Every structure is written in structure tokens, then in C-alpha cells.
Amino acid sequence: MRINLIGDLHKSSRLERITTPNQVYAWFLHKALVENGVDVRLIYGPNLLEEMPPKTDHTIVISSATSYLVNDSRYIQRLRSSTAGKLSAYMNVNKMRGRSDRHFDYCFTQIGPTTYRPEKYVCAGWGVDPTYSYPEQDEKAAFLDSKSPSPRMVRKVKKSYSIYDIALPKLDIKIHNPVATYNKSKRLPYPNYQAILRKCHYFLCTHFGDGGLNRLEAAACGALLVVPTKLYRKRTMSLLNHRVWHTEEELINILHEDVDIEANRRRALEHRWEDVAKRMIEVLNS
């Protein structure tokens, strides 16, 4: 089987330069598909109009590429003409519904199950690669995710942010608060981000995190997810070990507890990129 993987990477891309979730998806899906015996070619989406993609059995479009693909019919026409089999997309189901999904034979989603058009929407899940996400804790530490919500979210989480600001200095915990890699401002390269996550016993959530990629990677490093009640969504959080807090006292009590690093990691490793790839292959072979 041959697959063209359309996204923000090309064949000369390096892991050390990856800074966005869409690039992470493309990198590890490519790796997992190859390990499952698929002939995969990374195609840099923005160049599709300059160079015709090679003929392939199937095509999978990664997340962000759909934004310009659906706004210019020439992209879809080129992908259709080069694809003998299925043209599919992989992304968050909430961002796919609507006018985008009509261009694709299948929409592989990160979170499921979903009852929305089950003949087209297939939950492939999201994954983690234990080669890069593993425990390396020493002193007690927590990762405070980058505090950069959308404007409509500010009012909902303002109180939670203020509690973090008040409570964390009272605790004997090292706080890592870099500019997160999954943030639309300045980003850390993927390996640098993983190196920080490996040190942390707790991952302090500040986003809904529909895709859950950074939360999954933190959990694979052994971290316990700690989430304010206003940001809790069972559909995403139930997949990983977590604690929910409402008050400053509850947050402090949670951060005083011991963390079962191995248990958190085992739960996270139920979700691997190799399994995502196998689900996709099974659907494309059907």
C-alpha cells in the first residue's frame, strides 16, 4: 500500500525543527505507517499547486492542511487525480464537521466514539511514542501549561488562573512554565518540550485540549493531569489518570499527594501511534 501524507512536513524535515501539533501528527503517523509496512511519502501541502503529487493508492490530509484545501478546489482536484483509492483527513472531529468533510471519503478523528455520520467518521485516536515520552523525574515538579486562552475563554478560566498564581508559590514544587510547543505564539521544538515534560510529576491544565496531545505526552512521562473543574471534559480526560479541583484548598491537597508515575504512564501507553496507524490501514483496506 502506498499513502501520500499531506501536511506541514516534507521528506527533508527534521524532528528537531518540529514545533506544532500538526507537524507532530505528520511525523509520528509517517513513522508508524512505515513500521506497519506502508510506503509513505510526506508531501508539503502548500506546494501542491506548484508540483503534482505522485500517484498513490490513498491520501491522508493532516489537520491544518484542510483549511486551504477546502478553500481552493484546485488542491482537492490534484489530490483526487493522484489518488486511486480513498482521500481521507485526520483531525479533531469538532473542526471537521460542516463544509470541510464533504471533500473526504473518510474523516479519521482523534477522539471518539462519535455518532455523527458513522459511515464517514472513524475514530483513529491519537498516540504517543514512548521513545520520546518517558519518566525522568527528580525533584518534585509540575508543568504549568501555557496560559494563552482564546478571548472567549478568558472569563471562564480567569479565576482558575488566579488560583494557580496564588497557590503554587506556597508549595515546595518546581514549576516549569515555558512557552509551550502547542501554542500559537513562540514555540519550543518538540525534543525540548519533551525534555521538560519528562521532569514533571503533575501537568496543570489551562486549556480544554480537545486533541489531548500534550496531555497524553505528559501522562506518558508519568505526570498526573490536574484540571480545574471549568476545563474538565469527561470525553477527553477519562482516557488518562487525572484529578479535578474547584478550590485553592483542593488544588493544594492534590499537589501534596504522591504521584504513581508508573500507573499514569501505563494508562497513557494504551494510546500509541502504531495503533492509530493500524486503525487507518484497516479502514483503507476495507
* 79 and 163 together in one domain: no
Tell me the whole-structure pTM to 2 decimals.
Answer: 0.88
Higher pLDDT, 146 or 16: 16
CATH number of domain containing 47: 3.40.50.10490
How many Å apart are CA 202 and CA 207, to the nearest integer?
Answer: 15
Rounded to an integer, the average pLDDT of 51-78 is: 85
Residue of 69, 75, 73, 71 whose CA lies nearest to 90: 69
* 278 and 255 together in one domain: no
Cβ burial, residue 152 (10 Å; 0-12/13-18/19+): exposed
pLDDT beyond 60 at 183: no
How many Å apart are CA 230 and CA 258, to the nearest integer?
Answer: 24
pLDDT beyond 50 at 210: no
pLDDT beyond 50 at 181: no
Rounded to an integer, the average pLDDT of 210-232 is: 87
What integer pLDDT is reported at residue 148 of this predicted model?
57
Mean of the per-residue pLDDT values of the chain: 86
Digit-coded pLDDT (tens) for 248-258: 999 999 999 99
* 264 and 276 together in one domain: no
Domain, as residue range, for 216: 141-268
pLDDT beyond 60 at 27: yes
Q: How confident is the model at residue 186 (pLDDT cuts 50, 70, 90)?
A: low
Q: Which three cell numbers stand for residue 15?
A: 524532528
Question: How many whole angstroms from its chain centre is CA 160?
Answer: 23
What integer pLDDT is reported at residue 149 of this predicted model?
56
* 123 and 170 together in one domain: no
Residue of 193, 173, 176 whose CA lies nearest to 259: 173
* 149 and 262 together in one domain: yes
Q: Is the peptide bond before 118 cis (omega within 30 degrees of 0)?
A: no
Percent of the chain residues past pLDDT 70, beyond the cut: 85
Is 30 part of a structural domain of the chain?
yes
Higher pLDDT, 277 or 156: 277
What integer pLDDT is reported at residue 185 of this predicted model?
53
Is 22 part of a structural domain of the chain?
yes
pLDDT beyond 90 at 36: yes
Is 135 part of a structural domain of the chain?
no
What integer pLDDT is reported at residue 135 of this predicted model?
97
What integer pLDDT is reported at residue 99 of this predicted model?
59
* 161 and 185 together in one domain: yes
* 10 and 102 together in one domain: yes
pLDDT beyond 90 at 64: no
Is 123 part of a structural domain of the chain?
yes
What integer pLDDT is reported at residue 211 of this predicted model?
46
* 121 and 8 together in one domain: yes
What angle do the packed helices 21-35 and 273-285 form, to 10 degrees? 70
* 6 and 117 together in one domain: yes
What integer pLDDT is reported at residue 182 of this predicted model?
47
What's the number of domains the chain is made of? 2
